[in-house]
Amino acid sequence: MTFTQPFTEQTNLPAPVPDLVVSGQGGHWRVERITDHLAQLQGTTAGQARGRTLNTVFRQTLPDLGELARDVASAGEAVEDVRVRMATPGGETHLMATIYPGGLTEDYKGQQVFFSFRALVPGEDRAPYQFHGIVGISSAVSEVIRKVKLYAESDASAVITGETGTGKELVARALHLESDRRSGPYVVMNCAAIAEELMESELFGHEKGAFTGALRTHRGRFERAHGGSLFLDEIGDMPLHTQSKLLRVLEERRIERVGGEQEQEIDVRVLCATNVALERAVSEGRFRADLYHRIAILRIQIPPLRERIEDIPFLVDHFLEMFNRKYGRVIHRLTPEALQVLQAYLWPGNIRELRNVLERVYVETRADVIGARAFRDWIEERQSFAPGSWDLDAGVERRRNQPAVLTPWTAGRGTRSLPAGGGRVFDAELVPTGGESGMNFTRRRTQSAELDEEEIRHAYQAANGNLAAAARLLGVHRATLYRYMRRLGLRREDLT
Ligand SMILES: Nc1ncnc2c1ncn2[C@@H]1O[C@H](COP(=O)(O)OP(=O)(O)OP(=O)(O)O)[C@@H](O)[C@H]1O
């Protein structure tokens, strides 16, 4: 299928010919032109779509088309081959987009942005992204990579947010390696791992005798990162007085060692990561608002692994290759059943946890394929240590028509109460049915784990109409609550 169809009305557009032209200012985009083909994909016609706001024509895309338009308009440069997941009236479709800036609108008040889309070519739909060690197939990973490429050209500070183990440091390193600073040093400092009283000397260095125990002159991380990038991990844990000093350094581009009398110029790009919401820390007075605005000029959000379980098979292959090199053996793959077990887990520790579990199972396995049974001990530990880590729906939903693979050793344990922030213990009762070495299981939902309309309504009202809060009250992930609502045909209006 060729997606792009030339516009008849306009002949002098740069190649490739756009399927969509939007114009706007201040982040509000309207559809100027659209091909019939693309409009039909959204259940409308080109005539009806023209003049409407972008997000009423394209209700749900990942990445968001408006955000792509904004990035391209402000950078003034085209971005090629962005994989876009697009909700359509009949389901969803994946397309490759090229987006390029189109200059000012006729009234000089706004900007135009062009999109051209193409269908994925065979092979492209299954080839994972591999970018400075970042592996994945999901639109979320594609979006992260797109932002890294875009932000690598800037020298502004960036904040990378995401739960623990989602790959924030990997992304920071990729930002450094993609930037003009790649041949300079890349220095890391974890703010949570350094005692408060040592933090300033770690960052800015100290002179000999500056304080008791300062036996030698010490170069700080800023000095060591001169000409390169400094990655400040867990910036949310930085004490307030150090935040003030950091802000001054970022503004003046000069540092002074603790106990020193001379300032020196530094040329460092600061990249930060946090797994706490900095906005909340600002509103609670734990993080300086001015520093927040200074460092959060560019932001990259990495979604948790449970929201992109399609990445799991590719991450598994990536880690198996890594362990094959490390241990000098060859394990080819996981069985589909083993993959299903991994995809049903909520991964509170995200990709780090996945890598660690795989390494343990790798070391314990003598065969060249790893089956579901190999994960038995780990699952048992997880069940007792962190109940609430399994959302069997998450793994099951994308593989409708296949039996869910669960584990016999967890069967019939029922629902327990939750740790803070956790989900339910089991969303299902686990029933062995034979299969791979007796390891195939069908899923049977337990009474207590099933959410019904009344329970959802109750939680929704108790949470004052906030679905995320209602999900927390119910002890399920927000995505799980949405799934239940869809399944029960419930809309928000039905819950009031
Ligand atoms: N997309 C990915 N592809 C391959 N490996 C990944 C990916 N994301 C993370 N990893 C690996 O997972 C592990 C954890 O990643 P990383 O240390 O970057 O996470 P983090 O978000 O910085 O964690 P924390 O918040 O705990 O510091 C690393 O071994 C990293 O290489």
* Ligand 1 binding pocket mutation candidate from 131, 166, 307 (most atoms within 8 A of CB): 166
Which of 157-166, 241-250, 272-281 shows the lowest per-residue confidence on average (mean pLDDT)? 272-281
Tokens standing for residue 441 = 């299981």
Q: Does 306-444 match 142-301 at the fold level?
A: no
Provide CATH code, domain 142-301: 3.40.50.300
Among the atoms of ligand 1, which is closest to the Cα of residue 275? 25
Distance 169 CA to ligand 1 centre (A): 6
Distance 133 CA to ligand 1 centre (A): 9
Q: How confident is the model at residue 415 (pLDDT cuts 50, 70, 90)?
A: very low
Its sign, for the CA torsion 133, 139, 143, 149, is positive
CA–CA distances in Å: residue 180 to residues 54, 154, 155, 169, 171: 35, 9, 9, 19, 16
Nearest residue by C-alpha to atom 24 in ligand 1: 164
Amino acid identity of residue 248, one-letter, is R
Instruction: State whether the beta carbon of 166 lies less than 6 angstroms from ligand 1.
Output: yes
Instruction: State whether the beta carbon of 304 lies less than 6 angstroms from ligand 1.
Output: no
For 445-466, what is each residue's pLDDT tens digit? 333 346 778 778 877 877 777 7
For 18-68, what is each residue's pLDDT tens digit? 999 999 987 789 999 999 999 999 999 999 999 999 989 998 887 889 988
Among the atoms of ligand 1, which is closest to the Cα of residue 172? 18
CA–CA distances in Å: residue 98 to residues 39, 131, 239, 322, 458: 17, 19, 43, 33, 46
Taking the whole predicted model, whether its pTM rises above 0.90 is answered as no
Tell me which H or E stretch contains 91.
strand 91-104
Cis peptide before 16 (omega within 30 of 0): yes
Among the atoms of ligand 1, which is closest to the Cα of residue 162? 21
Amino acid identity of residue 142, one-letter, is S
* C-alpha angle 126-128-134 in degrees, rounded to nearest 5: 165
Edge to edge, the sheet with strand 158-161 lists 186-190, 229-233, 269-274, 158-161, 298-301
CATH number of the domain at 20-122, out of 3.30.390.50, 3.20.20.70, 3.30.450.20, 3.30.110.30?
Answer: 3.30.450.20
Domain boundaries, the chain: 20-122, 142-301, 306-444, 453-495
CATH architecture of 306-444: Orthogonal Bundle (1.10)
The predicted complex's ipTM stands at: 0.99
Nearest residue by C-alpha to atom 12 in ligand 1: 352
Nearest residue by C-alpha to atom 2 in ligand 1: 134
Distance 484 CA to ligand 1 centre (A): 31
Distance 170 CA to ligand 1 centre (A): 6
- What was the pLDDT predicted at 472? 63
Instruction: State whether the beta carbon of 168 lies less than 6 angstroms from ligand 1.
Output: yes
